[in-house]
Structure formats: structure tokens, C-alpha cells
Structure 1
């Protein structure tokens, strides 16, 4: 029986990934790494800055320092988010309809989560139930952040349902012993990504917040739209 719905943040609650990957492309070019937003979304969605930079350093024989890179990105994104960041269309209606507790478990740090959820007015849906990768040892695809969220919410892993837009997040949920639904409602995703999320272990994939609303209502976790 599901008694907690765990939401990833970027690409599930807020349409931030398309903005973030555009900034990555710009900054990585300055390090001599030419890569597209689509490639970054496919390979590194849900992965921490440290994990992404480690992989890119190995591939391109570069020596980018992850903490410095993260600061470069977040300085640019802070200004971009103020003007361009939006909640995923329909996600506020969905959150209002849920009949079980919810939380956020994200690969972002707490300061960014506070900003990203605050700008589109989503903070109040979660209160203190906002959990960051900086609170655990390992980021996704390790299960640490989801297990931490479940413990803090006093819910067994098998009673959690995770909503994720990335293969890394789906794999992390499975490793935590949780059910997971793939989400394609962010601007960085397209219908062809459904197979990728199913292969990662999603029990199903939904296209947008309205479809997710119906899915959760069918599980009796939300009021019917």
C-alpha cells in the first residue's frame, strides 16, 4: 500500500532541466567540450554535477573541478531562473489533489531547492519534507536519497512511489525497493524517452501532469481530476 509519494524536483515539479542543460552546453564549450543539450539530458539527467563532471573528464581528458563548475552553472542559473523558471504545467493541481503525504528527493543542494521551489510557489506543498543529495553519501543512481526520504518520513521503502524523469532516478528507486513511475512532462523529454525509462525499471511512464494525475487517482492516491 502506497503511503508516500516521492517527487524528484528538476523536470518533474519544475521545468528546469531544459534551462540547466542549455547552461551546461555553454559552459562546457568553454572547456573545449562540445556536447548537445539532448545528449546531456539522455546521459546525465538526475545525475549530480560531480558525477557528470567525473564522466566528462574521463572521456575528454579534461580536469574540470566539479565544485567550481557547479558554482559557474548555478550563478548563471540563478539569474535565468528568476525570469524563465516555471512549474511543470498542471503540477500544482495534482499536488492539491493528493490524498497521501508527499516529499521531494532531489540531486540538487538545499539552497537551490529552496530557490527553485520558491519561485513558482511550490514550497508550501512540501514544508520540511524536502531532501537533498547533500544530506547523503551518494547521489542517484545510488538509492541513498530515497532511503533517506523514507526514513525521515517514517515510511517503509516498499510503501513509497517515486515520480522520476531520469533513468538514474528510476534505477535509484528500484535499488531502494520502491515503485517508480517515469515522467515525460519536462521540456527536455519527448515521447521516445519512455522506452529508456521503462528499461531503467519504471512500472509505467506518463506524458504530463494530467496523465500522472489520472494514474495516481487510479491508485487511489489522488482525487479524480
Structure 2
């Protein structure tokens, strides 16, 4: 059986947009990675703050715990992920910034008539704190999915497949906006088209079904172009 055409192709059908959270909607990744680096140093792993994002970007807390324990050969304890998540939530409540251009982008996607959901390695508790702090809650209320809470973090595709199932659309009809290789791998393995938000000049993986943009202002026009090619917009 031939695979269905993906959502950005002229013979595809775009029906759902799924967003990662950190680094795509909310600028919280550096804060969480720095907290992870602090925890790593406390356990004896040498991770300076300036390498925190490179080391832990896109990783779920259980994966971070595995890395630290493998490097230090020490157990962090069964409650380490929960304790560190509590630190994340407390930091988010102290203040977090939206990604540049996020409000205009979300308004433009909404005008296209496309439903939106979020699929993240963050917990729902963390995302609630981030979205309240950045006034993004109205866009996503009741449409947030946590790979951490599911117990199946990215790069596994389960959180994206779950979001599509909740919307009752096929994976081929979804576009995912990601910023990390871990998340992009999850989207592609889910059978979805992935748009990767990546600064100009930074490395991009050579994977199929991957489109790169450098700023959020490029995202809605990309979707609009696809809808026009599919005959769904004048």
C-alpha cells in the first residue's frame, strides 16, 4: 500500500497543526537546561551553563536522568525527575518569555481555520505555568498533550500520534512545528510533516519530510501556500 501524501504537498490534506512547546512557543528551554546542568554538576557531571542547551535540549527528564547516571555512575533516586520538574515549574512561575513572533503567528494560523494542539516533553503542569505566564492559554486550553505524563517521551512519536487521534485526523494530515532534532525525529517517525525552526547557519539533519524555517513569521505563509495548492484557499 502506498503511503498517503503528507500535509504540505499539493495532493495532501492539511488538517491539524501540532506545536512543540519549549523553543517554539515559549522561550523556556535555556532555563530548564540550566537547571538540568545544575543538577548534573551536583551529581558530579561536568556540564557548564554555556553547554547546558547543547547537552540537554529536547530531552525528557527521564532521559536526562539516564545521561547523568551513566556519566557519574551514581543513582539520582526514584524521585529525581519529580523533584527537578518541581524546580522547572517554580522557575516558570517566576517568569518566562514567549518566542519572538508567536502571537502574530498563532493569529495567522487561526485565521486559516486550522485546529492546533501542543505535544511536548514537558509535563502538563509545566506547560500550564508557561502558558499562563505568557498569556498563551486561550490558544491551547484543553488541547495540550504531555509525553512526560504519558511516560513515553520524544523521540518516540507517541505524543504526536495521540494528538492526531484526539483530533480524529490521520498522521499524514498533520504538520508539526519543532525546534529540536529529538522532536523532529518524533514527528517524522509519526508519519507527519515536520517544520523545523532553526537559526540560520545552524546544522539541520538530512532527513526526509523536513522543512526548515528561521523565524516564526515564515510558518503561517508556508501553511497558507499548502492550503492554496490543495484547492482549499482562493
Q: Of the candidates 70, 83, 88, which is equivalent to residue 77 of structure 1?
A: 88
Local SS of the residue matching 1:63: coil
Give the TM-score, by structure 1 length: 0.85
- C-alpha RMSD of matched pairs (Å): 2.1
Checking the alignment, whether the CA contact within 8 Å between 2:118 and 2:140 is kept in structure 1 is yes
Change in 2 beyond 3 A, CA 1:169/1:7: same
Change in 2 beyond 3 A, CA 1:28/1:13: same
> Cα distance, 1:210 vs. partner?
1.3
Deviates more, 1:35-44 or 1:54-63: 35-44
Q: Of the candidates 2, 5, 18, which is equivalent to residue 30 of structure 2?
A: 18
> Cα distance, 1:37 vs. partner?
4.4
Checking the alignment, whether the CA contact within 8 Å between 2:40 and 2:68 is kept in structure 1 is no
1: distance between equivalents of 2:104 and 2:91? Answer: 25
Deviates more, 1:33-42 or 1:89-98: 33-42
Change in 2 beyond 3 A, CA 1:66/1:174: farther
Change in 2 beyond 3 A, CA 1:67/1:212: farther
Q: Structure 2: which 5+ residue stretches go unaligned?
A: 1-12, 229-234
Q: Of the candidates 151, 172, 175, which is equivalent to residue 158 of structure 1?
A: 172
Local SS of the residue matching 2:135: coil
Change in 2 beyond 3 A, CA 1:145/1:69: closer
Q: Structure 1: which 5+ residue stretches go unaligned?
A: 185-189
> In the alignment, which residue of structure 2 is the partner of 1:178?
192
Structure 1 residues 57-206: aligned runs within 5 Å:
57-65=69-77, 67-71=79-83, 73-98=84-109, 99=112, 100-184=114-198, 190-193=199-202, 195-196=203-204, 198-201=205-208, 203-206=210-213
Deviation sequence 1:2-47 (CA, Å, 0-9, x none): 1000000011000001111122222221111111445443343222
> In the alignment, which residue of structure 1 is the partner of 2:61?
49
Q: Of the candidates 212, 220, 223, which is equivalent to residue 213 of structure 1?
A: 220
> In the alignment, which residue of structure 2 is the partner of 1:187?
none
Checking the alignment, whether the CA contact within 8 Å between 1:171 and 1:201 is kept in structure 2 is no
Change in 2 beyond 3 A, CA 1:182/1:32: same
